[in-house]
Structure 1
Amino acid sequence: MAQDKVEVGVQVKSKKRVADHGEVFTNEREVNAMLDLVKHETERIESKFLEPACGNGNFLAEVLKRKLKVIDERYSKSQIEWERNALIAVCSIYGVEIQEDNALECQDRLYQIIYQKYMGIYGTNIKSDFLRSIQFVLNRNILWGDALDFTNPISKKPIVFSDWSFAIGDSIKRTDYIFKFLVEKTHQFSLFNDEGNVGSIDEPVRDFPLVHYLKLGQK
């Protein structure tokens, strides 16, 4: 996780970063105005969002908050259902960021949103296995990479995203794909097409066996 955090709402970390990388974070008002244009999608728990220059997570954090609000309203009386749907929400959020510290900060920011909400509802009944699963997914979904050439800036290895899908019961399926390009007709925030199929990434590079959602983070 990132150690040097920038205060939420700050648009510039330093003048040098602006000069070197053109790094200016979108402010909260603009984030909400843009997301309101696709409000119905931000409130669909399973709707997939991809931010190809996610910074420290201004857009993705708000998407997660909106999804969690729906989950709280529908499922807070059942901890198992809340956990399952909160994980679905996290699995639906993807980000690529060229600055490594921002990518780590974004992972931590999204994790803290989940953790604080989870703790606030269930207190001492929270499960460490669930939190480990959340962290595991965030480490796979929020990646350090260059969305222009689809590789890691240092290693130049291709960016590989995971697709997550719940099967029968509480098992989850992971399939990895090489991220190559966004199809122009695909929704600007969506990694997948309207039919729910992979729309902008190539054939799977690896399939993983089904695993219970509480065991994703186990080694």
Structure 2
Amino acid sequence: MTRQVKSKQRVADHGEVFTSEREVNALLDLVKQETERIESRFLEPACGDGNFLAEVLRRKLAVVDRRYMKMQNEWERNAFIAAGSIYGVDILQDNAIECQDRLFSILSKVYIKNFGAAGKLAFLETIKFVLERNVLWCDALDFTNPVSKKPIVFSEWSIAVGNMVKRRDYIFRFLVEKTHQFVLPFNDEGMPAAIDEPVKEHPLTDMYKIAE
């Protein structure tokens, strides 16, 4: 059973109350089809230590298991897509770190159970890197980190061909506030980037070398 309160002080300071496991599953069942679509993107703007995101990942991985258990490379590619499509923000740093660790633990335990000694350390390092990019210590209300005030930047991960991954970075605020016409910094051509353009496009990278 998941805990709903860490401390009374945190409730008073931040209104922090975690959603119970039963409520999490009841709410996710309302969009059950999406939770079982490997590539479906989920964002939790006040993710806490990950009650919702953890269950989303479990459901996605259950689908990956059913489809690809006997094909390790396909399992890894689809597990990467599942993890890469989950995003979270929390205003408390310890929550964000706990959420990253929790999601990594869920995936790594399933992976090791499935493939044991055949598992690849590079794959787990990739997953850890992706989760650290996708679950951020930030304030979803003002779209910045509480200390540095740097904007929230999320990465979109997609499999291009084979094991090659395309990464595009987007400023979260401008994905939400569609009234903005341009974003800074400039795009690769030296022109202001439109709101639906990434602020950075990374070169194609082997899935197993992303953490490098």
TM-score by length of structure 2 reads 0.89
User: Which residue number corresponds to residue 147 of structure 2?
Assistant: 154
Identity %: 66
User: Displacement, 1:209?
Assistant: 0.3
* Per-residue CA distance 1:67-115 (angstroms, 9 max, x = gap): 0000000001011011110000000000010000000000000000011
Selected match of 1:19 from 6, 12, 34:
12
- Which residue of structure 1 lines up, in the alignment, with residue 189 of structure 2? none
- Picking from 112, 115, 123, the partner of 1:122 is 115
Q: What corresponds to 1:97 in structure 2?
A: 90
Give the corresponding residue for 1:58: 51
The residue number in structure 1 matching 2:210 is 216
Contact 1:179 1:202 in 2 (8 A): no
- Aligned partner of 2:145: which letter? N
**d(CA) in 2 for partners of 1:24 and 1:69?**
28
Q: Using the alignment, how far apart are the partners of 1:22 and 1:211 within structure 2?
A: 41
Shift of 1:183: 6.5
The structure number with the bigger radius of gyration is: 2
Mapping 1:168-179, distance limit 5 Å: 168-179=161-172
Tell me, in whole angstroms, the C-alpha distance in 1 between the residues paired with 2:54 and 2:196.
27
Work out which of the residue numbers 44, 59, 71 in structure 2 matches 1:78.
71
More contact order relative to length (CA 8 Å, sep ≥ 6): 1
Gaps of at least 5 residues in structure 2 are 179-194
User: What residue is the counterpart of 2:192 in the other structure?
Assistant: none
Deviation at 1:182, TM superposition (A): 3.1
| Equivalent in the alignment of 2:40 | 47
CA drift at 1:203: 2.9
The ranges of structure 1 where at least 4 consecutive aligned residues each deviate by more than 4 angstroms after the TM superposition are none
Q: Which residue of structure 1 aligns with residue 29 of structure 2?
A: 36
- Distance (Å, rounded) in 1 between the aligned partners of 2:111 and 2:121: 11
Q: Distance in 1 between matches of 2:18 and 2:128?
A: 24
Q: Distance in 2 between matches of 1:203 and 1:56?
A: 31
Report if aligned partners of 1:178, 1:202 keep a CA contact under 8 Å in 2.
no
Whole-angstrom CA distance in 2 between matches of 1:120 and 1:166: 24
Amino acid at match of 1:52: P
Conserved 8 A contact 1:163-1:174: yes
Does the 8 Å CA contact 1:175/1:207 hold for their aligned counterparts?
Answer: yes
What residue in structure 1 maps to residue 129 of structure 2? 136
TM-score of the two chains, using structure 1 as the length reference: 0.87
Task: Report what 1:187 is aligned to.
Answer: none
1:202 to 1:99, Cα distance in 2 relative to 1, 3 A? farther
In structure 1, what is the Cα distance between the partners aligned to 2:131 and 2:54? 12
1:182 to 2:179 alignment = no
